[in-house]
A and B are shown apart, each in its own frame.
Chain A
């Protein structure tokens, strides 16, 4: 489904190829919001595309890229399995000579390439990065700003176990912020801290579209503090604090049916009192105009 706001012919197109957290969850109960794990493609009106994360949804994303694409950029937030498990099935990696740029966090002792090699090597996977026919360029990034084509990319570490980045993508005057795994409330006894002390604030400030973790219900969160995830209600609070215009609830728990996703996100939306924020659950294969 394609819908959105941009009526001037410019702006960004955001396609959701995977919206699920933790584990793929295919089946009759997840057909509306999808079962594939995190993968989002952001495209500008010139056709330049950036791909965010390599969950199982990246298999379809790779098939949607133009056959004559000259360069592919994939931005990884972190290396938990649900964000990289589709990498070995990303078609551009098998295109001879194609430049594939992988951006993501190193650890304190290992580069991004070295960390990815732990997955893309036996016994977990039969093909090593160095054996791929494409030209793979790995870029260690933590916090900073750089340009990829017409996109200005900003990244920063955010609250989630192990080195984890959030991304802010700016192009054609629009801002998309991607915080799929985020626990900004960690350690706060009541609600969220002020913006000065709010993880992810600078990345999300004034975003036209904020894609944010909403994995747990309030009750589930109480038993999973420190696991790195947020609730839909706190995602609304976060969006209010950063003055985002539109919020997509993302990283749905694999145990959650479509009806449950719809219900908990609707309940969270009702807590928004100011009336300025547009919210909805992220649904696989939706294309959103920003």
Chain B
């Protein structure tokens, strides 16, 4: 399998950033996260590899500001991929090292050269 160039370049860019970045494909699978995001999520990408939607939602559930777990179809990633528009939301992540971390996530869909949607990039700002 080969990824579209837009996602290949996004990964290479993310790998050089100290800003936490997660990368999702069109199906909502988490296909990469950089080292800074690994600190926030409690594990390194090298340890987890790619995770399909149900896997990452179980590995590090996100809660809304009232403490309720955000459902798969209501997640910022799902919304951005469904609507094609950026989504920004403050969440609490139950990280894979057992620590709860509050963060603001900004998810923007990646539209390719022919305006076809290729996936989404999630920037994470520790709150």
Contacts and interface: CB of A to CB of B under 8 A. Distances in A.
A7 interface: no
Given A187-B15, A202-B2, A197 B8 contact: yes
B2 A186 contact: no
B27 to A, nearest CB: 15
Given A106-B113, A157-B113, A186-B12, A198 B5 contact: no
Contact of B5 (A157, A193, A196): A157
Nearest to A185: B12
Contacts of B11: 187, 197
A198 B2 contact: yes
A106 B13 CA distance: 24
Q: Per DSSP, are chain A's interface residues mostly helix, strand or loop, or mixed? A: loop
B5 A158 contact: yes
Interface string B7-31: 0110111011000000000000000
Given A187-B15, A187-B16, A142 B113 contact: yes
A239 B80 CA distance: 37
A143 B113 CA distance: 10
Interface in B112-127: 112-115
B4 interface: yes
**Closest 7 A/B residue pairs (Cβ):** A187-B12, A202-B2, A157-B5, A201-B2, A142-B113, A197-B8, A142-B114
Interface of A: 105-108, 142-143, 156-159, 163, 186-189, 193, 195-199, 201-202
10 contacts: A156-B5, A157-B6, A159-B5, A186-B12, A187-B9, A188-B12, A193-B8, A193-B12, A196-B3, A197-B8
